[in-house]
């Protein structure tokens, strides 16, 4: 049976290219031989119509607002499981049995400490350093400490590096936070679950016992599940591209953190909260919606819109519910930022501009309100995103390394610069 193909006519010549079909979602046209056959490249800035790889990890249907991790709907995972279960699922492809889950939790727990010389590493930063700058540096620096898990050709070393990344991100994130507020680092405790351990490392002080609030731990754990992976987003693509050169996993994750920092990507949760604070009251929402619609105004509604979701981001729905749960647990009756956010959502979802451009709240729209209520400063929001997304990055990195067809990523270009010309001495220049 002949394989399905697509035909492209280039300079009056029909070029047959294989069409590959996945489990669900759009098929792809394999253009890998196009340049050899035609001498031409495809052109797709921002990769709006380009599949960079084949993956079995996460599936998004942007029109339907569907997000599946290894086939399981995000709503069900967020409702029934915990973050480490999601980590196991993303890494290994199946939900763990009780024994597998217990073993995985045990292994992660015992990798949560960082090399104690990392403490001195932090001392080099100014106290007012942005925690994301600290995270990019400290995660990249892990490759200076853990030489026994940087050989990417060794499956065992790849798994150890993966466990170390998942386990140490909360510890490094908490250290980044403590350092900026001038409080001593708090070491992890093995008798706490993953997210309670993180909350304690962030908010405990040596002067008194700290008991994590189970409702807040559960809420933050769910927020981590929502952020764990998201197909070939900008930071995941960055990790894959860095990994395709054979760079060690710590360096690849550091590259992903750097990319996530941008306000168009993971930095949007910090930017969204700043925007809500700038709007200040529900009465001023209309003024900002008008700015967002004004072609001559670069202002955008942060936390709105998405490259893939042209429907409500399913994570935003769960995020909104979690926001109300956290505010209620903390006894916060009326949060002015939430009032502004709810008014903004109401107005935008009825506005022709947003309807026509299919702009809906994304995961970053409500997360900031929740994290602020939990006690995190705005500068830590993207750090928490990076903490959660680490398992997605490392799972996608491992999938790429294990893909027999993978090769170094090296896109081409459309050159519109100067044609070839001879050197002119400075005496001959005008």
Provide the minimum distance between the beta carbon of 232 and ligand SDX in the complex, in angstroms, as a whole number.
Answer: 8
Sheet of 28-29: strand order equals 5-10, 13-20, 28-29
Nearer to ligand SDX, 88 or 304 (CB): 304
Provide the minimum distance between the beta carbon of 105 and ligand SDX in the complex, in angstroms, as a whole number.
Answer: 25
Interface characters, 359-378, with ligand SDX (x: CB under 6 A):
x--xxx--------------
Spacing of C-alpha 403 from chain mean position: 22
Using an 8 Å Cβ cutoff, are 335 and 373 in contact? Answer: yes
Q: How far apart are CA 397 and CA 158, in angstroms?
A: 10
Interface characters, 377-406, with ligand SDX (x: CB under 6 A):
------------------------------
Q: Which residue in 306, 334, 351, 403 is the catalytic one?
A: 306
Q: How far apart are CA 118 and CA 172, in angstroms?
A: 9
Q: How far apart are CA 224 and CA 268, in angstroms?
A: 16
Q: Which of residues 44-73 bind ligand SDX (CB under 6 A)?
A: 46
Beta bridge partners of 59: 68
Residue with tokens 């405990």: 204
Q: Which of residues 305-324 bind ligand SDX (CB under 6 A)?
A: 305-308
Q: How far apart are CA 419 and CA 414, in angstroms?
A: 13
Nearer to ligand SDX, 46 or 430 (CB): 46
Nearer to ligand SDX, 216 or 308 (CB): 308
To the query of whether residue 147 is one of the catalytic residues in this protein, the response is no
Q: How large is the C-alpha radius of gyration of the chain?
A: 23
**In this structure, what are the phi and psi dihedrals at residue 196, rounded to the nearest 5 degrees?**
-65, -40
Q: Is 90 in the site for ligand SDX (CB under 6 A)?
A: no
Considering only the stretches 15-23, 120-128, 153-161, 357-365, report the one whose residues sit in contact with ligand SDX under the rule CB under 6 A. Answer: 357-365
Using an 8 Å Cβ cutoff, are 56 and 70 in contact? Answer: yes
Distant-in-sequence contacts of 285-291, Cβ < 8 A, 24+ apart: 285/340, 285/343, 285/344, 285/347, 286/347, 288/344, 289/344, 289/347, 289/348, 289/351
Q: Which of residues 257-276 bind ligand SDX (CB under 6 A)?
A: 264-266, 268
To the query of whether residue 364 is one of the catalytic residues in this protein, the response is yes
Interface characters, 216-235, with ligand SDX (x: CB under 6 A):
--------------x--x--
Considering only the stretches 2-10, 50-58, 189-197, 303-311, report the one whose residues sit in contact with ligand SDX under the rule CB under 6 A. Answer: 303-311
Provide the minimum distance between the beta carbon of 46 and ligand SDX in the complex, in angstroms, as a whole number.
Answer: 6
Please list the active-site residues.
Answer: 306, 364
Residues in contact with ligand SDX by CB under 6 A are: 46, 230, 233, 264-266, 268, 292, 300-308, 357, 359, 362-364
């Amino acid at each position: 049976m002949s394989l399905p193909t697509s035909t492209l006519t280039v300079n009056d010549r029909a070029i047959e290219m294989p069409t590959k079909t996945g489990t669900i979602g759009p098929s792809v046209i394999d253009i890998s031989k196009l340049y050899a056959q035609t001498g031409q490249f495809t052109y797709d800035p921002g990769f709006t119509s380009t599949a960079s790889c084949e993956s079995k990890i996460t599936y998004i249907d942007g029109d339907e607002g569907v997000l599946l991790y290894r086939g399981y709907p995000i709503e069900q995972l967020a409702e029934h499981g915990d973050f480490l279960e999601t980590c196991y699922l993303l890494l290994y492809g199946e939900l763990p049995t009780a024994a597998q889950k217990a073993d995985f939790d045990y292994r992660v727990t015992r990798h949560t400490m960082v090399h104690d010389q990392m403490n001195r590493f932090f001392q080099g930063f100014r106290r007012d350093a942005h925690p994301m700058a600290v995270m990019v540096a400290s995660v990249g620096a892990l490759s200076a400490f853990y030489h026994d898990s940087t050989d990417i050709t060794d499956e065992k070393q790849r798994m150890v590096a993966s466990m170390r990344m998942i386990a140490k991100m909360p510890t490094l994130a908490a250290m980044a936070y403590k350092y900026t507020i001038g409080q001593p680092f708090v070491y992890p405790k093995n008798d706490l679950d993953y997210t309670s351990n993180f909350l304690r490392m962030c908010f405990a002080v040596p002067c008194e016992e700290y008991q994590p609030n189970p409702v807040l731990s559960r809420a933050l754990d769910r927020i981590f599940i929502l952020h764990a992976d998201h197909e070939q987003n900008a930071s995941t693509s960055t990790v894959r591209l860095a990994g395709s050169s054979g760079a060690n996993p710590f360096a690849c994750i550091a590259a992903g953190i750097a990319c996530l920092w941008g306000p168009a990507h993971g930095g949007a949760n910090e930017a969204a909260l700043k925007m809500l604070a700038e709007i200040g009251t529900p009465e001023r929402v209309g003024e900002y919606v008008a700015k967002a619609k004004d072609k001559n105004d670069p202002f955008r509604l942060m936390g709105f819109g998405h490259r893939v979701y042209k429907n409500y981001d399913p994570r935003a729905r769960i995020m909104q519910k979690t926001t109300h749960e956290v505010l209620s647990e903390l006894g916060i009756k009326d949060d002015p930022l939430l009032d502004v956010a709810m008014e903004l959502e109401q107005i935008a979802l009825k506005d022709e501009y947003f309807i026509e451009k299919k702009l809906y709240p994304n995961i970053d729209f409500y997360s900031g309100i929740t994290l602020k209520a939990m006690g995190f400063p705005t500068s830590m929001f993207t750090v928490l995103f990076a903490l959660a997304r680490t398992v997605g990055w490392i799972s996608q990195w491992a999938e790429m390394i294990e893909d027999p067809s993978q090769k170094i990523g090296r896109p081409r270009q459309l050159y519109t610069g100067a044609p070839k010309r001879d050197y002119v001495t400075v005496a001959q220049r005008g």
